[in-house]
Amino acid sequence: MLNVAILDDYQDISLEMADWGILSGKIEITVFNDHIHDQELLIERLRKFQVICAMRERTPFPKEVLDSLPNLKLLVTTGMRNASIDIEAADKLGITVSGTEGLPYPTAELTWALILALARNITLEHKSVKEGVWQKTVGIGLQGKTLGIIGLGNLGSQVASYGNAFGMNVTAWSQNLTSSIAKSKGVRYVPLETLMSESDFVTIHTVLSSRTRGLIDSSKLNLMKETSYLINTSRGPIVDEEALIRILGENRIAGAGLDVFDLEPLGNDHPLILSDRTVITPHIGYVTRETYKIFFEQSLECVSNFLSGAPVRIINS
């Protein structure tokens, strides 16, 4: 019987989302609802498992961790890309890494929720009404404002369509974007510096890589208008978090809507949580019932097929 670990199931919903009972008698499942940052404690927890089902990039699996898990045979990640798994190390250790499909639209929808929350001060007004205060702030409209999109792939293109529907002036930049491609998606290509300095809302939708880590640094943030907002639903390390904290603290920009961070979960005393210029969500861009159903049903499929000797959606060789 294989020992199977399901990690970072914060909502305790993994067993509800798929019929794991079909493998009754073949596997023994342990579901972990908490998260461990400490690498040694993580290794100690996972040492006995032959199969680990990871939730996106919540728990990293660098070479040092994989080397310390001698029983691990199958590592399943939700999604087909996971920058926190050392794929090369897994390959050398004979660990099969399989993935699942996902849905492209939930993160784009959350991005728009954050934009609306910032523009209309929704979280502040909600809190005020609950405290007995009727109307406290004055919001801004979106029509005619400039939306700057960093990364015009699937997610960025969806956000662009929302911006166009709201009558915004939509611009975009990415390292491989051309004016003709941008035009075909209903947006205008601009250099990154222009996007940062002219946009009322800057939203990030590029993937995290060696080229994009720290892309939005202090010099880029300093280009933003005092009335502008930064939204990040991609990956935390794309933005220099310390620089963002400093700029928010100095009232250099109007605010930020953030779903992703350098280290997750955030501590309760984190400056981005304590700031009155942020709207914070706990990395829920992909967290919908529709997405989770795909994640866990296909995670189950990965485990079942591995047991049958025919693994599916293999990410490594």
Active-site residues, by number, are 235, 264, 283
Whether the upstream peptide bond of residue 265 has omega within 30° of 0, thus cis, is yes
Q: Where are the alpha helices (DSSP H) in 102-214?
A: 105-119, 122-130, 154-165, 179-184, 192-198
Residues in Cβ contact with 41 at an 8 Å cutoff, skipping those fewer than 6 apart: none
> If 0-12 CB within 10 Å is exposed, 13-18 middle and 19+ buried, where does residue 141 land?
exposed
DSSP 196-256: HHH-SEEEE-PPP-TTTTT-B-HHHHTTS-TT-EEEE-S-GGGB-HHHHHHHHHTT-SSEE
User: Is the distance from CB of 111 to CB of 233 less than 8 angstroms?
Assistant: yes
Please classify residue 283 by burial: count the beta carbons closer than 10 Å to its beta carbon, then call 0-12 exposed, 13-18 middle and 19+ buried.
Answer: buried
